[in-house]
Structure 1
């Protein structure tokens, strides 16, 4: 199974040039499941369908900004249920872009050998100073997932998204089972780490020429995007 998380950055920059490269590469990759950030849906235009093609079940999350920017999920297989929860956990969480600070859980009916999948798209706050909020924003959906697993026992749980936090952060350590938060703990396996070890995998890099746009020109390079799989009692699924 191929799972993708990707921030499309809307239609900013040289969009015609970016679109040509992105559409070709996304259709080459052919992800089975995709969680996408900064997608544009506006005035009859659907950026997800434009880039991925029409062979997907697409869910657009609530809370888009005036220019149509928000988050989306695409699945090759039928999606049977969608639940979105806002994670505006303190007054410091910026609500101008309400899709930032939210989690969406969808049930995916995948064919054998995969079975039913609970796909969770997690997007916490991005501001550097909001580590406390990101902790609270992780604990709430972790509990929602555990409730869903206890009630309906999916075959697999996949958690993915733009976490805006590095692997050593308390929030990512919580997801990976390395520390507890909020008097609870969970354990998810990091797909990159399982395949490649703990080094590398930067998903926001200083070599990217788009960093010259606005405040991201100061970026030093971090791994902030993840695909996690909920572990069973013995760890890796």
Structure 2
């Protein structure tokens, strides 16, 4: 896309369900999308399996999170460009964060793109519904970390994505989108869905996708929008123009969805 880049995020859901069928659906999804940068959560990478390569093949650069659970679960970044640098931050912020259940890290990679340097951050806080305190602390850690990474550089854009496991009205997301401060810090990231599709629910974890109850009882909570792409703001707004935002992997392929989550994708370009 001339003058634009396409970014995406999706929780892959490990090898749950019928992975062979889901893999075909995800391959078709990303083959049609032609993304430039993708944040993936809950990918399995171990001595026998690399789910990301199974989906994307060898056409992309792939970065895997360094620390994973004992079964190889963690996060990954997929890119058309080789990274200029890769950093990780620890998110084990309280004693309730169990590294055997949750990798407890976020990953950032900087890329030279046609829009200039882009720091792409894959953020995966805790998933438990009652752990908003941990998600607040994790959002605060990531926000402080990003500010250190960009070092007040005016030339670098930051795109923050992931499965945040938090609705837009929660404190962790309100903090990231500039609606409140946490721990004496305030930042502002523009939620691409809110910008491009104001008033639309955009649920990414919903009973519209029957896979969410296949291996756990998620029917007890209402539909939620918990997967995000956000663009860091300067004093007046996002440093990249948000041309569009769409849900991702929300269509059946061969009778199945690719994951228990729907993802998010956005086209970003320069500010005129």
TM-score by length of 1: 0.93
Deviation at 1:43, TM superposition (A): 2.3
Deviation at 1:128, TM superposition (A): 1.2
Over residues 89-135 of structure 1, what are the superposed CA-to-partner deviations in whole Å (9 max), with x where a residue is unaligned?
11112221342x3221111111x2x1111111111111111111111
Higher relative contact order (CA 8 A, sep 6+): 2
CA contact (8 A) 1:59 1:72 kept: yes
Q: Give the 5 Å matches for 1:145-156.
A: 145-150=146-151, 152-156=153-157
Q: Which residue of structure 1 lines up, in the alignment, with residue 255 of structure 2?
A: none
Change (3 A) 1:200 1:120: same
2:111 to 103, 108, 113: 108
Q: Which residue of structure 2 lines up, in the alignment, with residue 15 of structure 1?
A: 19
Provide the rounded CA distance (Å) in 2 between the counterparts of 1:145 and 1:27: 31
Tell me whether 1:222 sits opposite 2:233 in the alignment.
Answer: no
Deviation at 1:151, TM superposition (A): 5.4
Where 1:168 maps in the other structure, the secondary structure is coil
Q: Which residue of structure 2 lines up, in the alignment, with residue 187 of structure 1?
A: 188
Q: Which residue of structure 2 lines up, in the alignment, with residue 93 of structure 1?
A: 97
Provide the rounded CA distance (Å) in 2 between the counterparts of 1:157 and 1:10: 27
Deviation at 1:22, TM superposition (A): 1.2
Q: Which residue of structure 2 lines up, in the alignment, with residue 54 of structure 1?
A: 58
CA contact (8 A) 2:70 2:100 kept: no
- Identify, as 1 or 2, the structure richer in helix: 1
Alignment gaps of 5+ in structure 2: 240-272
Deviation at 1:153, TM superposition (A): 4.3
Query: How many positions carry a matched residue from both structures?
Result: 234
Deviation at 1:65, TM superposition (A): 2.2
CA contact (8 A) 1:11 1:40 kept: yes
Where 1:2 maps in the other structure, the secondary structure is strand
More deviation in 208-217 or 184-193? 208-217
Provide the rounded CA distance (Å) in 2 between the counterparts of 1:30 and 1:218: 35
More deviation in 129-138 or 89-98? 89-98
More deviation in 31-40 or 66-75? 66-75
Q: 4+ residue stretches of structure 1 with deviation over 3 A?
A: 151-154
Alignment gaps of 5+ in structure 1: none
Provide the rounded CA distance (Å) in 1 between the counterparts of 2:85 and 2:199: 34
Name the Cα RMSD after superposition: 1.5
TM-score by length of 2: 0.82
Where 1:200 maps in the other structure, the secondary structure is coil
